[in-house]
Homo-oligomer: A and B are copies of this chain.
Amino acid sequence: MKQPLTEEKVFKDPVHNYIHVQDTIIWRLINTKEFQRLRRIRQLGTSYLTFHGAEHSRFSHSLGVYEITRRIISQFERSGYKDWIPEESLLTLCAALLHDLGHGPFSHSIEEAFEMNHEDWTCRIILEDTEITEILRDVEEDFPRKVASVIAKTYEHEIVVNLVSSPLDADRMDYLLRDAYYTGVNYGTIDIDRILRMLRPYNGRVVVKESGMHAIEDYLMSRYQMYWQVYFHPVTRSSEIILRQIFRRAKELFQEGYNFSFMINPLEDLFRGEVTVKQYLMLDEALVQTAFMQWTLEQDELLSDLCTRFIHRKLYKYVEMENLDSDMITEIRSSFAAAGLHPEYDLEIDFPTDLPYDVFRPGEAFDNKQILLLDRHDQLREISEVSDIVRSISGIHRGRHHLYFPQDKLREALTRLPSSIAEIFAK
């Protein structure tokens, strides 16, 4: 089923040094227009507004995920582990390479605004007559469906699904390393060579040799730090909030029949809620940024203000609050309305939270979200049973409310707010 290239091809990659392509199918998939489109979608959405180095694309990340998967499989095959199915290697590699294919521009925000899901889009692009579909069909007629089912986690061989999505999958390993590299934040540096050496296929799962425990502890801590230092950074959240508000406002206006001075497809179809695969593939961050730039000149003041904020990075400020209940929130919003502020657009409340690792409760069955250690006697144990560190941090459920608001407007309205509310924002 594999179709080896006569000579291996490589991509120079700052994270993995070289990405090695050894199969014609992989090479052809990379050169499709659907895969090349990922060059126009940033891996970290708006994070580049916080960490100026974070301008890397999902294209780079997808190649990285492929490469890590390739190394895992190659080690499985060199060692001849019996729980691995060598016939599934091309399938696994294709699923690893393509798993992010359906991401849209500024993915999380656009998915929320338009109630879409990138995984569905990934499967549609794989299945609905694209260049990708055609190449996969060259392997076998049913191959596109197989690849999609691995991504949808329904494929019959669990080990393949587990390799592509699990708490230790190539996706997570690549993004930690890559995001650390491009942001310059060095918390994400994990000992990937050691982790890879410790992985074992076992009973339909990828597990970890017990002696790799410390490397996994370090990986979980890196993940935790990257969440708090990078992914949940308040400046990034602020820019995501602006982005969502732009989409929300533009949709409202569209539904009211507002006459946009700039509106082209596939944006129009997106607002209308009728996007075809072909249209979806034309949706990229260049288009979104161009629309926003044009909308800075729109007549609707709210839309124009929000777009100006996004394009020129005049973001909302924020204050942190340790205890904030829903009554309090209602009170703030009404005071805002009373003071002539917009209770929604002028105040966003965010509660970032991350579980560094979900603990295993004795008596429960192992599930896919757990990391299992394999000891010398071939017994499996969930990692938090063995590692003091992981047990200690499991279940930490930290988080504070962050209130985001346009500082200039707030400042001007401060005297019109009750003093108890005003002092929250007065800092």
Contacts and interface: CB of A to CB of B under 8 A. Distances in A.
Interface stretch (A146-154, A268-276, A392-400): A392-400
Contact of A184 (B12, B183, B396): B12
A111 interface: no
Contacts of A63: 52
Contact of A17 (B10, B36, B193, B282): B193
A293 B398 CA distance: 44
Nearest to A265: B294
A13 B53 contact: yes
A327 to B, nearest CB: 26
Interface string A40-80: 10000000110111011101100100000000000000000
A31 interface: yes
A388 interface: yes
* Interface range on chain A (Cβ under 8 Å from partner): 35 or more
Interface string A251-262: 000000000001
Given A214-B229, A225-B217, A13 B189 contact: no
A413 interface: no
Interface stretch (A155-163, A284-292, A335-343): A284-292
Given A224-B389, A396-B392, A40 B284 contact: no
A266 to B, nearest CB: 10
Contacts of A282: 293
Contact of A189 (B15, B56, B57, B186): B186
A393 B56 CA distance: 35
A363 B39 CA distance: 51
A18 interface: yes
Nearest to A43: B55
A289 B36 contact: no
A218 interface: yes
A321 interface: no
A214 B225 contact: yes
Nearest to A312: B33
A14 interface: yes
Interface string A6-24: 0000111111011000000
Nearest to A398: B388
Contacts of A56: 53, 55
Contacts of A17: 184, 193
A288 B389 CA distance: 39
A228 B218 CA distance: 12
Contacts of A60: 52-53, 55
A55 B52 contact: no
A60 to B, nearest CB: 5
Contact of A191 (B186, B294, B388): B186
B185 A36 contact: no
Closest 3 CB pairs of A and B: A14-B184, A392-B392, A286-B289
23 contacts: A12-B51, A12-B185, A13-B184, A14-B184, A17-B193, A18-B193, A18-B194, A33-B312, A33-B313, A185-B191, A187-B214, A214-B225, A217-B225, A282-B293, A284-B289, A286-B286, A286-B293, A287-B293, A290-B290, A388-B393, A388-B398, A389-B393, A392-B393
